[in-house]
Amino acid sequence: MGNTLAEKLWRDHLVTKGEDGAPDLIYIDLHMCHEVTSPQAFEGLRLAGRQVRRPDLTIATEDHNTPTLNIDLPIADETSRIQINTLRDNAKEFGVRIHSLGDADQGVVHVVGPQLGLTMPGMTVVCGDSHTSTHGAFGALAFGIGTSEVEHVLATQTLPLKEFKTMAINVNGTLPKGTTAKDVILAVIAKIGTGGGQGYVLEYRGEAIRSLSMEARMTICNMSIEAGARAGLIAPDETTFEYVKGRPHAPEGSDWDAAVEYWKTLVTDDDAVFDTEVDLDASELEPFVTWGTNPGQGLPLSATVPNPEDFPEESDRTAAENALTYMGLTPGTKLRDLDIDTVFLGSCTNGRIEDLRAAADIIKGRSKAQNTRFLVVPGSARVRLQAEAEGLDKVFIDFGAEWRNAGCSMCLGMNPDQLKPQERSASTSNRNFEGRQGKGGRTHLVSPLVAAATAVRGTLSSPDDLEDAPAALV
Amino acid sequence: MEKITTHTGVGVPLRRSNVDTDQIIPAVYLKRVTRTGFEDALFAAWRGDPDFILNKPEYANGSVLVAGPDFGTGSSREHAVWALKDYGFKVVLASRFADIFRGNSGKQGLVTGILSQENVELLWKLLEAEPGKQVTVSLEDRTVTCGELTVPFEIDDYVRWRLMEGLDDISLTLKHEEDITAFEATRDAWRPKTLPAKTEPKQHVVAARPAQ
């Protein structure tokens, strides 16, 4: 019997095989750090008198706490400033490379790794951040870890782990125009639930996945964690190799040839067996949005707010009741009729250049809905520079959007970009949890296309709700 | 790490499913650089509600949390575990846990026991009928006892052994240091290194200003 891609990656990083129920010891190729989940790990090293074993496989950047305005001024919030300074001090003390605020390579850690060419097929990638699953788009085994594990990787460059189970997500058919990778993953999560992926690596397969760009694949793998999965994976192909080639840390010459030769073996064998398989027909998808307070509570944009009484399971019913109360929604209301106060375009899910281009295409030559605020936050400083080189900043500013510096921004309420209580957002980020974007804030997760159309109309909208919608999208 | 074999304390019924780590500790509390002192942040948003379970005096000293399915989903923040521990919780019981949360708990000596949802419901009823009722969790026997009720729970064998022995992972791994060094010698040349740092040409990043 053959092996799945996940099994091959595991096998190729096995330092020791666990015996008598003990976990395997897995080698980590790349460890990324940010300011929030690392201070206590570095402190742990210091207390134990340990060093970072492989600073040359470690990189840090600042993203969660950083403001997206006035980045050349001292950070106003004292606790944020202390946390960021702590990361800078730790990086210096332990010899870890860091890209700080103001540096062209600063940004959301999961945007920075791939753009530097540090994320490649066949690697193991970890970070103290659950959205590390993003890097699985390259055919790398990439997963989020807690602070104790951050310390463990810093000290040993390994992790003790039990092998993950495998699940195939077969996305067959062709995506209709106007639907995106974000709609695919929101539909997957709605289908299998926020706990459906627990213990599994999800391998996304099928025609619809093959046709996606690298950035779109990252969007899909990014949200694997929202289905509870350990990681997401997409087998590498020419699209992947093309994306990696020529990036600052991409292999060169004979190293490149050797790498590609190996990468081509990183596919699930035809006779391999997954622990579970799930099928999804891409051709039936339409723009998907969430109505509730977890990413599994999603529906097509054409739907209405569900009635909790229609859920057969009691726990789902209670969860829906709680969600509707928090979200201030009434069953039966058309999702398209919901007024949106703030549109957020950005995050490790949808803050890359293609996301900005797609949104800019829709809003170009239009004006923003008067009562809706539109925040555009590039995923990294490089993405911002690239967008400016293409003139996208001007499109956004002319439209009436706020053009910001890079960071996690409104994806999570730990920097100045937050929703006010009861404020309703359409957000291209990944979590609609209670209070995630600010205490009392109400989040609807959407694709960049829906975000842009919503910013035009002021209510949840898709591009085909617009007059003279761009032909490519309808 | 402290050894744990059994724990007895007040059981707290939390009738909620999908309690994500943003609920356990909102992001605004994650800016601290210390490992302790997170008790005030636990369930911060819900604690503003006088009807929230931990605001009832009988449950305020709870140390065994009995929660709905899919506890600990979302963000990887270990602060969620620290907040539960700092508040005084030693054990969380639920029918399903998110993987990262469960992993983090094991590292920090917070016991996460998996019960059938049916048994969670039985515990909820007992703990609601008699607020402040004690629950005994035995890692030795893998059982939860509340009054006359004794039900089994599941926990990974290895994690259970480590909790009962009070062992920490890094020391265990460092026993394999020779294996790690040997593995490193076999790594392919194409695998990237972060140092020396390579980047695209440096460029000035203009600071965005607040809208006028």
Residue carrying the six token digits 């001292």: A74
pLDDT score of B126 more than 70: yes
Nearest CA distance, B93 vs chain A (angstrom): 16
What pLDDT, in 10s, does the model give residues A74-130?
999 999 999 999 999 999 999 999 999 999 999 999 999 999 999 999 999 999 999
The answer to whether the Cβ–Cβ distance between B173 and A157 falls below 8 Å is: no
pLDDT score of A469 more than 80: no
Give the CB-side neighbour count of residue A175, counting CA atoms within 13 A: 25
Cβ A439 vs Cβ B27: under 8 Å:
no
CA geometry: angle A325, A327, A333, nearest 5 deg: 90
Residue A304: its pLDDT value, please? 98
Cα pseudo-dihedral B139, B141, B144, B148, rounded to 10: -150
Nearest to A149 by CA among A139, A141, A157: A157
pLDDT score of A474 more than 70: no
pLDDT band at residue B2 under the 50/70/90 scheme: confident
Tell me what percent of the residues of chain B surpass a pLDDT of 90: 95
pLDDT score of B168 more than 90: no
Residue A386: its pLDDT value, please? 98
Tell me what percent of the residues of chain B surpass a pLDDT of 70: 100
Residue A21: its pLDDT value, please? 87
Average pLDDT over residues B70-92: 96
Mean pLDDT of chain A: 97
Which residues of chain A lie closer than 8 angstroms to B104, CB-CB? 146-149
What pLDDT, in 10s, does the model give residues A128-138?
999 999 999 99
pLDDT band at residue A20 under the 50/70/90 scheme: confident
pTM of the model: 0.95
Average pLDDT over residues A260-288: 98
- What residues of chain A, 323 to 382, have a C-beta less than 8 Å from chain B? 381-382
Distances (CA, A) of B134 to A332, B138, B148: 44, 13, 12
Nearest to A97 by CA among A88, A86, A107, A85: A88
Residue A294: its pLDDT value, please? 97
Cβ A352 vs Cβ A385: under 8 Å:
no
Residue B38: its pLDDT value, please? 96
Cβ A111 vs Cβ A352: under 8 Å:
yes
- Chain length of chain B: 212
pLDDT score of A161 more than 90: yes
pLDDT score of A472 more than 80: no
What pLDDT, in 10s, does the model give residues A222-250?
999 999 999 999 999 999 999 999 999 99
pLDDT score of A173 more than 80: yes
What pLDDT, in 10s, does the model give residues B25-37?
999 999 999 989 9
The answer to whether the Cβ–Cβ distance between A71 and B205 falls below 8 Å is: yes
The answer to whether the Cβ–Cβ distance between A40 and B169 falls below 8 Å is: no
ipTM: 0.95
The answer to whether the Cβ–Cβ distance between B180 and A195 falls below 8 Å is: no
The shortest CB-CB distance from B20 to any of A79, A255, A433 is to A433
Report helix, strand and coil shares of chain A as percent, to nearest 5.
40, 20, 45
Residue B1: its pLDDT value, please? 79
What pLDDT, in 10s, does the model give residues B138-148?
999 999 999 99
Report helix, strand and coil shares of chain B as percent, to nearest 5.
35, 20, 45
Cβ A125 vs Cβ A32: under 8 Å:
yes
The shortest CB-CB distance from B208 to any of A15, A69, A104 is to A69
pLDDT score of B18 more than 90: yes
pLDDT score of A1 more than 90: no
Residue A473: its pLDDT value, please? 61
Residue A471: its pLDDT value, please? 64
Average pLDDT over residues B45-66: 96
